[in-house]
Homo-oligomer: A and B are copies of this chain.
Amino acid sequence: MLRIAIDMDDVLAYSAQKAVNAFIAEHGFGPTMQELQGKHLKDTVPPEYQEKIVSYFYQKGFLRDVDLIEDSQEVVRRLYEKHEVFIVSAAMEMPYSLEDKYFWLEEHFPFIHWKRIVFCGDKSIIDADVLIDDRAYNFDKFAGRPLLFTAHHNLDIQGYERVNNWKEVAGLLL
C-alpha cells in the first residue's frame, strides 16, 4: 500500500479551462483550447488582461462547479480502495476557494473521508510515497515518486515521470 497525494486543479478538475470560458464570456474573446496548450493561462491573453484571467480563482464560488477531468472519479475511487489516498491542494493562496474545494470534493468524490483532505500552501511539508501534480515546483522538495500530470502549461517540462491522463495513472498504480 502506498500513500498517494493527489492535487486538484488541472489534475482532478478542469480549473484553467473554466477560467478561459469565464474570460471569454466576459470579454468576448480569449484563447481557444488549442491556443491554451503549451502556455500558462496568463500568457494566453494580452498583458493588460493577464491579471484578470487568473483572478477568477480568487472569487468565491468559482471553483465550486468546475468540470471533472476524464476518468478521475473512477480511478481515484479504485486507488482509494487499494492505497492510502490523500487529496492535497495548494488552496491557501485563495482562501475563498477553501469551502468551494471542500464541497466540490464532497459532491464528486463522496468516498474520500475528510481526514484524507489537505489544503496547504507549500507542499514540502507533505510526507507521501507518490505525488500526482501538474506543477513541477511541487516536486522540488518531495522525497517520494513524482508523477507529473500533463496539463496545458507543463507540456515542455522535462525530467519527470509523466502521466497524460487518469487511465495512465491506473496503469501505473493499480
Contact = CB atoms under 8 A, between A and B. Distances in A.
A3 B125 CA distance: 9
- Chain A binding site: helix, strand, loop or mixed by DSSP? mixed
B93 A119 contact: no
Interface residues of A, number: 27
A80 interface: no
A31 B96 CA distance: 36
A126 B120 CA distance: 11
Interface string A109-135: 000011111111110111110000000
Work out how many copies of this chain go into the complex. Answer: 2
A96 B127 CA distance: 26
Contact of A122 (B93, B98, B115): B115
Interface in A112-171: 113-122, 124-128
Interface of A: 3, 5, 86, 88, 92-93, 95-96, 98-99, 102-103, 113-122, 124-128
